[in-house]
Amino acid sequence: MKNLIFSLYLLICLWIIGGLTAIFRSCSEVYNMIFIHNTNDNLTIPICILLIKISINSIVTFYLFKFSRVINKLNLENFLSKKNGKSFRTIGRVFLYYSFIRLFINVIEISLGENYQKLTEYNGKGVIEGVVTLLITSLFLLIISKIIDQGYNFKQENDLTI
Amino acid sequence: MSIVVNLNTVLAERNLKSKDLAEMIGITEANLSILKSGKAKAIRFSTLEAICKALDCQPADILAYEKE
């Protein structure tokens, strides 16, 4: 069990690094658009989309960081606690909302056409697969949080049986 | 909960302290306190039997149903 948790912790750390890289990349794209690009294109929409991407990536990275701390300090002897249930539920909801927002942004990016895609070096490959994977992960996390909550209630009942 | 535990009354009638009863029936004082305060979710037959034996009473003397 400890090995599994450690592996999960490492993967979450990698995910956080990936999130920070994505934020940095989006920031540099915004910088390039504002200060380097000399085109006459209207840059308002691409910049808005990039800013939304930076915001949601920041939120997800923040919650992943919080979740990694929970995973790191996980007490296996008292796994069925309210705190664990809450953190699993929170991260599940964050992933769920993130995947829907990511899907929505992807639809907008596709609808903006080739000009936008060239401007932002947009590559939509794998976005749908990523969103579906994240959706499945989020649903699993939400189910696990329900199981933890139910287990906590049973444990409470058992502890209060004299 | 509508089940009331009248353990305090029975203990007072027999001039016994919670500590003594806890020792007699083999449970901790903390658990006896949970039982007396009505916070307990359930009571085992073995515990009930031990209490009745120690206090020489019937389960109905300890537990009562009150309409909410």
Q: Containing domain of residue B28, as a range?
A: 3-65
- A84/chain B closest Cα distance in angstroms: 23
| Number of residues that this document lists for chain B | 68
CATH number of the domain that residue B49 is part of: 1.10.260.40
A1 interfaces chain B, CB cutoff of 8 Å: no
Amino acid at A123: N
**Residues of A in Cβ contact (< 8 Å) with B42:** 157, 160-162
- Coil vs helix vs strand at A160: coil
pLDDT at position B68 is: 73
Three-state helix/strand/coil letters over chain B: CCEEECHHHHHHHCCCCHHHHHHHHCCCHHHHHHHHHCCCCECCHHHHHHHHHHHCCCHHHHEEECCC
Question: pLDDT class for A146, splitting at 50, 70, 90?
Answer: very high
- How does pLDDT run across A82-126, given as a tens digit for each residue? 888 888 898 899 889 888 888 888 888 777 776 666 666 666 667
Q: What residues in chain B have their Cβ under 8 A from chain A's Cβ atoms?
A: 27, 31-32, 34-35, 39-44, 47
HSE, side-chain direction, 13 A CA sphere, residue A12: 22
Q: CB contacts < 8 Å between A and B, how many? A: 23
Q: What is the pLDDT of residue A63?
A: 86
* pLDDT band per the 50, 70, 90 thresholds, residue A17: very high
Q: Is A153 on the interface with B (CB under 8 A)?
A: no
Distance CA A88, CA A13 (A): 16
Name the domain count of chain B. Answer: 1
Take residue A5 and report the two structure tokens written for it. Answer: 């948790």
- Nearest residue, CB atoms, B27 vs list A156, A157, A162: A162
For residues A149 and A128, give the distance between their C-alpha atoms in angstroms, rounded to a whole number.
31
Torsion angle, alpha carbons of A112, A116, A121, A122, to 10: -10
pLDDT in tens, B48-59: 999 999 998 999
C-beta of residue A57 within 8 angstroms of C-beta of residue A26: yes
Q: Which residues of A touch B40 (CB under 8 A)?
A: 160-162
Q: Are the C-beta atoms of A138 and A90 separated by less than 8 Å? A: no
Contact A160 B42 (CB under 8 A): yes
- Which spans in A35-126 are helix H? 44-72, 82-111, 114-119
Q: CA of A158, closest CA in chain B: separation in Å?
A: 8
Cβ–Cβ gap A161/B31 under 8 Å = no
